[in-house]
Amino acid sequence: MSFPKINPTTTNSWKSLTELAAHRKTLQTYFAEDDSRAEQFSIAWEQFFVDYSKNHIDKNIKDALIGLAKESGLEAARKAYFGGDSINQTEGRAVLHTALRAKANADIRVEGENVVPEVYKVREKIRAFSQSVIDGSRKSSSGEAFTDVVNIGIGGSDLGPAMITEALAYYKNHLNVHFMSNVDGDHVMEVLKKVNPATTLFVVVSKTFTTQETLSNATTAKKWLVDALGEDAVGDHFVAVSTNITAIDAFGIQSENVFPMNDWVGGRFSLWSAVGLSIALAIGPNHFEALLEGANAMDAHFETAKMEENIPVILALLTVWYTSFLGAQSEAVIPYTQYLHRLPAYLQQGIMESNGKSVDRNGKSVSYQTGNIVWGEPGTNSQHAFFQLMHQGTKLIPAHFIGFAKSLHRNQDHHDKLMANFFAQTEALMNGKTETQVREELSAKGLSGDALEHLVPFKVFTGNKPTTTLLIEQLTPKTLGALVAMYEHKIFVEGVVWNIFSYDQWGVELGKQLASVILDEFDLENSGNHDPSTAQLLRHFKKLKKS
Ligand code: F6P
């Protein structure tokens, strides 16, 4: 099956959208003109209610966006994605994170072989291992139960497990799970400071097992453990997750303590694989499997729902609309739950490492904007930080508001206040406040004349700021799995339409290569060949280092 390589600007829909972009109305006008707008631009699916009516679209724009997806070959691309074709063509690999959460009876083939039985074998290993650590039957080298787990990994081998572990903290057991990612030795020492070698389990996660940060951190952690407990303790205290079995062996981790993963899983999409071992340890295997179940339900929705009612398709097309036609540079993700405080950071890797590309699938530079900058912080904290710019700044920032109808601790008073803010913000961003309203408000406060007029322009909100509201019943492993899978498929659809390869990440290589060159030069008297700015900085650094 071939993966489409269509330049989107050559489609009829692209041309229509360019014209439609010039004739948009404000959100306030769209709502005033159509009573059914809210229902028309909403999707109810399982525990999700997605209201995208506060976006700069009307029926014609939505139809043209769906036309663009069709003309870009989305249907064929989706079949290739779920079917295990090598759609990551620059690395010659399939992209099958969906197989990691497939039903046991699914048949998903990579080079003719059904991968699902192997997925379930690894899942069984995760279940048995995490259960034994949680119930204390698996002992440390001193015969004690483990109290702490340290996940050592970076990028996809850190962000997914870290984000989910935080997000599902409510479901956590007694194990304290820590994350060591940065090669910054201060980060390493701060984590080690918190744990006791005798009762700490290290999970070294690296798809390639060649990543400088992870190997350095694992080596330091191993030395710290050996200094405290002796060489023999390593076998009991270290397990690894990787595709690179030889390198793990060289590191000294025994083969029975290795959790394999496959090269058809990209790092940033790997939390569903053995990379999620720390998640299973933190919340137990049942909750981990419920997370996978939720993702699988979203996979089925994405694979089968018609485009008009397909959540990832609609959200992706909105992003394409804002990015490629309306000039938006970024997109905010504002979860109204503190549990999801790492979601924006996790999505930054997922979205920006995937779609931060400027060469299309034909190897040509693109002539349109792709990718987008994603950022955010939980509400209501973010309201007291950057919302000023969203309300009255000069930038177009489409935002996702993610909220939950029921809180977990059932503190209704707090939850009502939180959710009142959740709804109020999207309404305020859309409606704004007119000059007339400002004048009325100020005169009700007793102001008049010049004093009143002077303040009016500063107190006006133009409104017309786009938001999409994702209202979900409750934050559970299942709904979280569906939410994360929703973003994964959104990334896929955007990449298909933009005609870029979403599943490689060559852009992170150059900096890594130069870092190893510079590292080797630190001990030399003179640095190698660098630009004058870098050379000056290196000289200054070496001088300060010695002082
Ligand atoms: O930053 C590049 C990258 O390759 C990511 O895609 C990946 O998640 C991360 O490095 C870590 O890689 P590994 O799991 O192989 O250590």
Which one, of 51, 76, 61, lies nearest residue 492 by Cα? 76
Range name among 205-214, 244-253, 326-335, 448-457 with the lowest pLDDT average? 244-253
**Ligand 1 geometric centre to CA of 508 (Å):** 9
**pLDDT band at 383, cuts 50/70/90?**
very high
**pLDDT band at 528, cuts 50/70/90?**
confident
Specify the ligand 1 atom closest to the Cα of 214.
16
Radius of gyration of the chain (CA): 26
pLDDT, residue 525, reads: 83
Q: Is 524 exposed, middle or buried (0-12, 13-18, 19+ CB in 10 A)?
A: exposed
Which amino acid residue places its CA nearest to atom 6 of ligand 1? 267
**Ligand 1 geometric centre to CA of 154 (Å):** 6
Question: Measured between alpha carbons, how far is 159 from 153 in angstroms, rounded to an integer?
Answer: 9
**pLDDT band at 523, cuts 50/70/90?**
confident
Q: In this model, does residue 2 exceed pLDDT 90?
A: no
Question: Measured between alpha carbons, how far is 480 from 395 in angstroms, rounded to an integer?
Answer: 30
Whether 361 lines ligand 1, by a CB cut-off of 6 Å, is no
pLDDT, residue 90, reads: 97
Distances (CA, A) of 288 to 54, 117, 130, 158, 168: 34, 18, 10, 16, 10
| Averaged pLDDT for residues 327-338 | 98
Which amino acid residue places its CA nearest to atom 3 of ligand 1? 155
Domains detected in the chain = 8-71+305-431+466-504 (3.40.50.10490), 103-289 (3.40.50.10490), 507-546 (1.10.1390)
Query: What is the full DSSP assignment across 149-169?
Result: EEEE--GGGTHHHHHHHHHTG
Q: Beta-carbon neighbour count of residue 393 at 10 Å?
A: 12
Which one, of 2, 6, 1, lies nearest residue 70 by Cα? 6
Whether 211 lines ligand 1, by a CB cut-off of 6 Å, is yes
Proportion of the chain in helix, strand, coil states, percent, rounded to 5: 55, 15, 30
pLDDT, residue 400, reads: 99
Q: In this model, does residue 1 exceed pLDDT 70?
A: no
**pLDDT band at 357, cuts 50/70/90?**
very high
Percentage of residues in the chain having pLDDT higher than 90: 97
Whether 354 lines ligand 1, by a CB cut-off of 6 Å, is no
pLDDT, residue 47, reads: 98
Q: What is the overall mean pLDDT for the chain?
A: 97
| Averaged pLDDT for residues 251-278 | 96
pLDDT 10s digits, 114-143? 999 999 999 999 999 999 999 999 999 999
Residue 15, both tokens: 């041309």
Which amino acid residue places its CA nearest to atom 13 of ligand 1? 206
Report residue 61 CA to chain centroid gap: 27
| Averaged pLDDT for residues 146-156 | 98
Whether 350 lines ligand 1, by a CB cut-off of 6 Å, is no
3-state secondary structure of 391: helix
Which of the 8 DSSP states describes residue 321? I
Name the residues annotated as catalytic.
Answer: 353, 384, 512
**Ligand 1 geometric centre to CA of 431 (Å):** 43
Whether 156 lines ligand 1, by a CB cut-off of 6 Å, is yes
**pLDDT band at 540, cuts 50/70/90?**
very high
Which one, of 159, 70, 166, lies nearest residue 374 by Cα? 159
Whether 160 lines ligand 1, by a CB cut-off of 6 Å, is no
Q: Is 522 exposed, middle or buried (0-12, 13-18, 19+ CB in 10 A)?
A: exposed
pLDDT 10s digits, 80-119? 999 999 999 999 999 999 999 999 999 999 999 999 999 9
pLDDT, residue 129, reads: 98
Question: Measured between alpha carbons, how far is 443 from 279 in angstroms, rounded to an integer?
Answer: 56
Question: Measured between alpha carbons, how far is 259 from 209 in angstroms, rounded to an integer?
Answer: 13
